[in-house]
């Protein structure tokens, strides 16, 4: 039940991408679109004196610059201050009641700390929900950049959606290399050609994980995805325990975890969960399942993840443990699983 005294959390889109990928260009396009007239924008800049926000053509009251450092390095407190000020201005009528927020990060930012800051802050976590991480990828150059820059690769791995820029100047081979690089690093992400795409579609919320995933190694560095699914609903307690174990045993490797959970206690509404490394946002019930599929679906994206271990851990909580399966070895290998008398009996 929605509490009438508590405002609905506003969707927040994190727009990231490597240096010069085309974030500001895309943002300008988004801001020109009447469908997005209700968006507020926060631009994070590297220099002491912010410049990027001056390049955002529709730099009106809703565009706020956060200068003097990178969100991932030292300005997280400033991010909190800026967002609190933005909300205060909205709530007391000094700003129009914006209906979503877009944050543009610097080209070198690791998206994780900014996301974690938003998820951990008791007030901001109530007022915003992370609707999507959109990563701009330069199609003319991604093949090389993704292979040589860990920052660029991580921005792609964390993405819910990839906006391919510069497809107007990239050769077909470059576009194919960019798509292949993205598919290896972010197999679950939706890929959109930014040139022709509808502005609203570029920053639409991505609720739940995408389908058709498997735990195949991605072949690029050590980033891979592991999907976990189950038919039978989970109890809330089982889900909470699974997350606790995941956080304590695997958090260093998990870049992102996202999913829809079917709970025994509330089977008609999916619980949307997301984690960034060891930080998990307060789970949020969606009003309804997005489609006919009512299974629990979770996807973890991470570095050096052991798919068997993770899938086995999930299976233990989802009631899928079959002690004679190959998973057993993986499960027993977990330092947190007692060698006897524990989950496996
Ligand atoms: N041809 C072409 N040029 C583009 C496109 N998108 C961006 N550019 C150009 O690429 C350059 C960098 O674009 P920006 O939008 O400033 O990139 P950014 O990601 O905001 O850059 P930083 O803030 O430095 O990280 C500019 O010269 C843009 O005009 C595109 O789709 N096609």
Indicate whether 168 pLDDT > 50: yes
Q: 14, 18, 22: which to mutate for ligand 1, most atoms within 8 A of CB? A: 22
The pLDDT-based confidence of 55 (bands split at 50, 70, 90) is very low
CA-closest residue to ligand 1 atom 5: 166
Over residues 315-333, mean pLDDT: 57
Q: Look at ligand 1, atom 6, and give the residue with the nearest C-alpha.
A: 22
- Residue 63 — pLDDT band, cuts 50, 70, 90? low
Looking at residue 16, what is its pLDDT? 93
| Contact yes or no for 131/100 (Cβ under 8 A) | yes
The tens digit of pLDDT for each residue in 89-119 reads 888 888 778 888 888 887 777 888 888 888 8
Distance 132 CA to ligand 1 centre (A): 21
Alpha carbon distance 296, 334 (integer Å): 23
Q: What percent of the chain has pLDDT over 90?
A: 18
pLDDT at 56 over 80: no
| 54 φ/ψ angles, rounded to the nearest 5 degrees | -70, -25
pLDDT at 227: 82
Q: CA torsion, points 320, 323, 324, 330, in degrees to nearest 10?
A: 90
ipTM for this prediction: 0.98
Ligand 1 first shell, C-beta below 6 A = 17, 19-25, 52, 107, 165-166, 168-169, 195
Q: Which atom of ligand 1 is nearest to the CA of 106?
A: 25
30-39, 165-174, 183-192: least confidently modelled range:
30-39
Which of these, 143, 197, 192, 140, lies nearest to 167 by C-alpha position?
140
Q: 163 C-alpha vs ligand 1 centroid, how far in Å? A: 12
Q: How confident is the model at residue 4 (pLDDT cuts 50, 70, 90)?
A: low
51 CA distance to ligand 1 centroid (A)? 14
Q: What is the pTM of this model?
A: 0.73
pLDDT tens profile 213-231: 343 333 444 567 788 888 8
Helix/strand/coil percent split, the chain, to 5? 35, 25, 45
Atom of ligand 1 nearest to the CA of 194: 31
pLDDT greater at residue 329 or residue 93: 93
CA 19–ligand 1 middle distance (angstroms):
9
Closest residue CA from atom 4 of ligand 1: 166
Q: Answer whether residue 124 shows pLDDT above 80.
A: yes
Answer for the pair 227, 276: CB distance below 8 angstroms, yes or no: no
Of residues 341 and 81, more confidence is placed in 81
Q: Answer with the residue of higher pLDDT: 2 or 191.
A: 191
Q: Would you give the DSSP letter of residue 203?
A: T
Q: What distance in angstroms lies between residue 166's CA and the mean position of ligand 1's atoms?
A: 8
For the CA of 21, the closest atom of ligand 1 is: 19
* Of residues 298, 43, 16, the one with CA closest to residue 162: 16
Nearest CA to ligand 1 atom 31: 166
Nearest CA to ligand 1 atom 3: 166
């Amino acid at each position: 039940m929605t509490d009438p005294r508590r405002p609905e959390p506003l969707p927040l889109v994190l727009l990231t991408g490597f240096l010069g990928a085309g974030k500001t260009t895309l943002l300008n396009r988004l801001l020109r679109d009447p469908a997005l007239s209700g968006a507020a924008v926060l631009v994070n800049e590297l220099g002491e004196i912010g410049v990027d926000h001056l390049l955002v053509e529709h730099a009106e009251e809703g565009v706020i610059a956060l200068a003097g450092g990178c969100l991932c390095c030292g300005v997280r407190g400033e991010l909190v201050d800026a967002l609190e000020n933005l909300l205060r201005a909205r709530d007391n009528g000094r700003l129009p009641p914006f209906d979503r927020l877009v944050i543009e990060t610097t080209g070198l930012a690791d998206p994780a700390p900014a996301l974690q800051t938003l998820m951990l802050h008791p007030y901001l976590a109530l007022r915003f929900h992370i609707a999507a991480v959109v990563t701009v990828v330069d199609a003319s150059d991604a093949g090389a950049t993704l292979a040589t820059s860990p920052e660029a690769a991580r921005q792609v791995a964390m993405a819910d959606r990839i906006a391919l820029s510069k497809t107007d100047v990239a050769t077909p081979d470059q576009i194919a290399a960019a798509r292949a690089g993205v598919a290896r690093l972010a197999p679950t992400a939706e890929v959109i050609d930014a040139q022709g795409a509808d502005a609203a579609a570029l920053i639409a919320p991505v609720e739940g994980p995408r389908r058709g995933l498997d735990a195949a190694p991605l072949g690029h560095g050590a980033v891979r995805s592991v999907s976990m699914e189950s038919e039978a609903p989970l109890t809330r307690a089982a889900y909470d325990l699974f997350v606790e174990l995941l956080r304590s045993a695997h958090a260093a490797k998990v870049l992102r975890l996202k999913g829809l959970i079917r709970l025994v206690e509330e089977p008609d509404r999916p619980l949307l969960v997301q984690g960034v490394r060891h930080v998990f946002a307060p789970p949020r019930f969606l009003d309804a399942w997005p489609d006919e599929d009512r299974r629990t679906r979770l996807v973890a994206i991470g570095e050096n993840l052991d798919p068997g271990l993770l899938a086995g851990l999930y299976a233990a909580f989802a009631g899928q443990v079959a002690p004679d399966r190959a998973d057993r070895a993986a499960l027993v290998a977990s330092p947190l699983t007692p060698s006897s008398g524990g989950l496996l009996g």
